[in-house]
Structure 1
């Protein structure tokens, strides 16, 4: 079954590659959300629903059938929205460092958590992230941040029927453990994993560990409905 990976706010497919390369065999798709990375640049920043619709159209065009959908950060919000709108397209969800925690659901709250996260990230990401921010532009990033903090991901979780892996780095202040525990409590089929030493960009800085946790998840009975 193919994978599709969705990146977070202000960034692109580039930082997802350490995990993406390890998810085979099989097809792994790593698109850039509209307005980011190498994608086209719509005049206005898309909200969560519009991003989900765009990804649904992409999966339909690819003709892959249902995919295992991995989101990181803002990409988790798009993934959850897509799973609700088009459950026929999503076989399982992997939500890594999911936003937006209601305890910090403002632009300032998220900015503060980002500043706390940065010292724990690998400085070797800097060149990739700087390129992504330049490609997106400040106006699009800020508008998308507004969409992120006003999207109620928590309120949607009870509608999710596919198995879900909740994944975070132990040093991630943007998606703290208490937030993942709260999410797990609202999901009917959830598995939670914390990767020691990693921060918010766990899919970049701990790609091997993240991919191993994901493989364990998809190979376990959690991904399959009970008989």
Structure 2
């Protein structure tokens, strides 16, 4: 009997939302916010009758707000999906920012928007930015949701991470290709490679214990970039941490399993009794 491999996939509406900016779509609109001389692009849905705790979604390496939209659509209340400097529709700084510089830029944007006490939901490199942001500015984060966090200490090199990324492709929805191609074109390969090197130098395992907010660590069950051993260790390093796996998804669970991921994130926040600061 031939075993058919089932992988998580985007819906047509999710794919449309991913590529819609700067046009409005499904309640989300685009705007520009200037932070330290850089014009940052932010995709947001605001004005909910029951806004509750705001959500801030932070994207991974080489990509942008686009691939986070399936998760953003499924979250409740006010949701903000910024493009990091040099990625997506945000202005590029002269050099490639490291993790701390990205976290500083996000803190400046949140200050400009009057955002605090948000749930920070990051994927891959975005998890490193979220952790650094929560360590340096704890009042900005009431909880963290880390999806496929990098960098696993068992593969702490650019080559090791790149090889795992290649292995991940077999488990991803091929319809993501259009999104990723657009994102890589926007950022440029040199910036992507320099940011990857910054990523591997960031001491994620040493920073996680310094986060005061509760942390949920998630991975797609087929994710080779964030294997189960690293996810369990990351959750164990957190002051208040929990880990779990999402069925059928791989590293880009935020794209292919948005509703399921959002449901787990909301349940975690509600179970912990998290309140915005």
TM-score tier, shorter chain, comes to over 0.9
**How far has the Cα of 1:184 moved from its partner?**
1.5
Report Cα offsets for 1:55-86 as digits up to 9, x if no partner. 00011011122211011000000000000000
Residue 89 in 1 paired to residue 140 in 2?
yes
Does the C-alpha gap of structure 1 residues 197 and 143 become closer, same or farther in structure 2, counting only changes over 3 Å? Answer: same
Say whether 1:12 aligns with 2:95: no
* Mapped pair 1:50 → 2:101: yes
Distance (whole Å) between structure 1 residues aligned to residue 272 and residue 180 of structure 2: 36
SS at match of 1:193: strand
Q: Distance in 1 between matches of 2:199 and 2:135?
A: 17
Match for 2:171 among 105, 116, 120? 120
Q: What are structure 1's unaligned runs of at least 5 residues?
A: none
Superposed structure 1 runs of 4+ greater than 2 Å apart: 221-224
Instruction: Please give the per-residue CA displacement for 1:156-191, whole angstroms capped at 9, x wherever unaligned.
Output: 111111010101100000000100111122112111
Compute the TM-score of the two structures, normalised by the length of structure 2: 0.79
Counterpart Cα distance in 2 of 1:121 and 1:29: 25
Query: Are 2:171 and 2:249, in contact at CA under 8 Å, matched by a contact in 1?
Result: yes
Structure 1 or 2: larger helix share? 1
Could you say what secondary structure the match of 2:116 adopts?
Answer: coil
CA distance in 1, matches of 2:239, 2:191: 35
Counting matched residue pairs gives 223
Aligned mates of 1:44, 1:56 — CA distance in 2: 19
Q: Does 1:201 align with 2:255?
A: no
Q: SS at 1:115's partner residue?
A: helix
Q: Alignment partner for residue 180 of structure 1, among 224, 231, 242?
A: 231
1:166 has 2:195 as partner: no
Tell me the C-alpha RMSD between the 2 structures: 0.9
1:103 aligned residue: 154
Alignment TM-score, normalising by the size of structure 1: 0.96
Say which SS state the counterpart of residue 195 (structure 2) adopts: helix
Distance in 2 between the 1:219 and 1:114 partners?
Answer: 33
Counterpart Cα distance in 2 of 1:221 and 1:142: 38
Q: Which residue of 2 aligns with 1:64?
A: 115
Q: Distance in 2 between matches of 1:222 and 1:98?
A: 24
Query: Aligned-pair distance for 1:222?
Result: 6.2
Which structure would you say has the larger Rg?
2
**Within 1, Cα distance between the matches of 2:154 and 2:224?**
11
**Aligned: 1:146 with 2:223:** no
Look up the SS of the partner of 1:65 in the other structure: coil
Partner of 2:124: 73
**Does 1:218 find its partner at 2:218?**
no
Contact 1:110 1:174 in 2 (8 A): yes
